[in-house]
Structure 1
Amino acid sequence: MPSADAAPEPVLPDHKGHRERLRDRARKGGVSALPDYELLELYLFRSVPQRDVKPLAKALLSRFGSLPAVLSAPLEELVTVSVLDGKGRALKVTTDIALDLQLMFEATRRLVAEPLKRTTVIDSWSALMTYVQVTLAHEPREQFRVLFLDKKYQLIADEIMGYGTVDHAPAYPREIMRRALELSASHLILVHNHPSGDPSASPGDIDMTRQIVKAGEPLKIKVHDHLIVGREGVLSMSQQRLM
């Protein structure tokens, strides 16, 4: 069987016709009318110009469960996906294909982050909810982020302060406050995700949050909220009176 890295073969007429038909439908009906597998297939045309990519698009969706989950998947997991194309040849996600998919995700993340840069974060709450959901809802392991805000609640920085496992991300109050002082931040919004999909706060989440709030008090650094993100939604610990 030829390797996936072998020189590309000419596109067969029927396969070329399929690509043109899909592009034509996208032009006439708009890309929003395409189902997820065809949207992904259309995008993969650029990464894999000489092969039938429909099986690969469907394999990616089957493996990760949804288009957002495909785009936010780690590179090391994307490159494990392989499938047989219509001619029985192996077709896998190469590093270049994985990077192309991650570029789409990063562009989307920056797009939804843009409104947060133009006004105070607490006045753009719906934009913040969209941003944290896009960024974290499909992360396969816990990630702890901190949004550092100035006195006017304008965003100074959004930084990852810890990576974890599927059910725990470490957060160190002293490190968070040290970074807040470096950035001259007056307010913080803590954010982390639950890969299980359920954004409910655990006893550990509540205890950790209260430790960070306490660490900020003598420094006059206020923790405005702690958002927990899951595929089922976003929980505000402040609104739930858990901090």
Structure 2
Amino acid sequence: MSKLYIVATPIGNLADFSPRAAETLKSVDQIGCEDTRTSTVLLQRYEIDKPLFSFHQHNEHHKVKHLMNLLDGGSDIALISDAGMPGISDPGFLAVRAAHQNGHTVCAIPGPDAATTALAASGLPSDRYVYEGFLPPKKGRETRIKAIAESDTTSVIYVSPHKLVRFLKRLSSFTEPDRWICIARELTKKFEEVQRGHISDLLDDWQNRPSVKGEFVVIVSGKTYSE
């Protein structure tokens, strides 16, 4: 049967792309991209010239059938997202499930990941953690934030820049002011920033900044953690 490759791509620094990932993309018949314009920059950097098709959150259900037709026809296909591992807060789950259901081989090519990169840099307990990804925009958001505040386990959350201060304010309303958190911004990029401290201090810093820009990962310690 054909193979579906799930290939991790750099979360910022293009030099983080692995030789194995590059060779895999050179070997497949077609590449599904979250955004073909974004992916072209990476592919040109590594001299990868393959037919591309779009595969993103707005067309994933429709494109799964197209993807299965390619695999059923004997083509090996790779899926990549704009950054990180497809299927982890990015499109890919439906395609992987369908590939398994239809008897095709699935192979994940590991690489950069914002969640574990931030966690490793946080200096907070990483033996057990809960990956929250992006919280729901409305329904269920409050419940999730309360659960994070009450958890004894480290939590990893992706937060949009325009929601960062609002998220920290809401979380702080359910936690003690000395709860340890880490805010990682623009990981692997030129303006990378990793801040670690009490939630009250970091909230004060960010709500007094003139602007909040970049891609954020927030690490929240469990409520029983202390130093």
TM-score past 0.5 threshold: no
With the length of structure 1 as denominator, give the TM-score of the two structures: 0.29
Larger strand proportion of the pair: 2
Higher RCO structure (Cα 8 Å, ≥6 apart): 2
